[in-house]
Amino acid sequence: MKHTRRTALHAIACLAIMNTAWAQNSTDAYPTKAIRVVVPFVAGGGGDNQARLILTRVSQELGQAFVFDNVAGAGGNVGAMNVARANPDGYTLLYGTNGTHGINHALYKNAGFNPRKDFEPVGRLSSIPAMLVVRPGLAATNVAELVKLLKAKPGSHSFASAGNGTTSHLTGEMFKAQAGVDAVHVPYKGGAPAMVDLIGGRVDFMIDVMPNTAPQVRGERVKALAVTSAQRLGSFPSVPTLMESGLEGFQVSAWDAVFAPAGTPTAIVEKLNTAINKALNDPELRKQLASRGSEVYPSSSAELGRFIGSEMERWGMAVKRSGAAID
């Protein structure tokens, strides 16, 4: 009886050692097949293009293809939920943004996922500043003149956004609060139609991400007053920051990052993080991103985790101030 028990215990121990060794070998060999990347936005949009540009380069570092899967809906929530419920084996990843992991938890009554508990942070990709632009003919050539104009006639001017709760909406609300001005918010179904009406003079100003504003400024269809980054941008060296323009501490950027389902092995997260940071050091990729108004932002997994906590708090306050809410 004792001999049988010892034999059974020995067999169980051997099986456990074999399973551990198999898991270790599997992790060490990762990735051995294509990796699915869920982009929670429509194909062909700014987020989708950014994801494909950066992560295709990352896939080269890993030696396996990335298969991009656009799972759009509810401001990115549908795609995020899809990944949160996926097998945590490193073969399903999320292209996340300040929308999915900064804004939506406060904007939506039930986003369907927890940005911190349901994901393993892998690594940041880039930072995407915004630019304050005004319609042609508006009597303001700098931020001080715009603020003076808005204060002179509270509520008689308007600012456009890509929609309720978007980065452009909340950044506009932050600007109003810090500058102490009042302006009517006009939400659109996307940044493109908002820009069309700004160019046409139907709204007065907008603060939107560089990929949407930069081409219009270069084409002299709108006027640039300031950027929301901490320093001036190399692509627009003559445009001051909002901090330079009198709004102390005003720094807002959209951003993107990679996330894996909670429970993904640490070794896999670290391997992915290393590949991301190597890709972000590629001079050609940096050049391509700079032309879009983006700046690379390498980080560790731990740094991204801390960043998410601060972003949830900051964007949550902005959502509360704006009064925006989606059931």
pLDDT of residue 10: 64
pLDDT classification of 11: cutoffs 50, 70, 90: low
Q: What is the C-alpha separation between 318 and 327, in angstroms, rounded?
A: 18
The residues spanned by each domain of the chain are 32-128+254-322, 129-227
CA distance linking residue 117 with residue 309, whole number of Å: 11
Tell me if 58 sits within 8 A of 66, measured CB to CB. Answer: yes
Residue 71 has pLDDT above 70, yes or no: yes
The per-residue pLDDT for range 253-307, each reduced to its tens digit, is: 999 999 999 999 999 999 999 999 999 999 999 999 988 888 899 999 999 999 9
Distance set, CA 87 to CA 36, 119, 270 (Å): 12, 12, 18
The structure tokens listed for 220 are: 């002299």
| Backbone phi, psi, residue 114, to 5° | -105, 120
Burial per residue of 218-233, b for 16 or more beta-carbon CB atoms within 10 angstroms, e otherwise: eeebbbbbbbbbeeeb
Q: What's the predicted TM-score (pTM) here? A: 0.81
Same fold, 32-128+254-322 and 129-227: yes
- Which residues, in sequence order, are bridge partners of residue 174? none
Tell me the average pLDDT across 7-33. Answer: 65
Query: What is the helix, strand, coil percentage profile of the chain, to 5?
Result: 45, 20, 35
Phi-psi group of 248: left, alpha or beta (phi > 0 → left; psi -120 to 50 → alpha; rest → beta) = beta
Higher pLDDT, 327 or 210: 210
Which of the residue ranges 121-130, 131-140, 310-319 would you say has the lowest mean pLDDT?
310-319
Q: What is the pLDDT of residues 153-204, one digit of tens each?
A: 999 999 999 888 889 999 999 999 999 999 999 998 888 899 999 999 999 9
- If one compares 243 and 19, the residue with the highest pLDDT of the two is 243
- Residue 22's pLDDT is what? 47
Average pLDDT over every residue of 25-31: 80
Report the CATH superfamily, name and number, of domain 32-128+254-322: Bordetella uptake gene, domain 1 (3.40.190.150)
Instruction: Give the residue-averaged pLDDT of 84-88.
Output: 98
- Position 49 scores a pLDDT of 87
CATH number of 129-227: 3.40.190.10
Give the span between the Cα atoms of 216 and 182, in whole angstroms.
Answer: 25
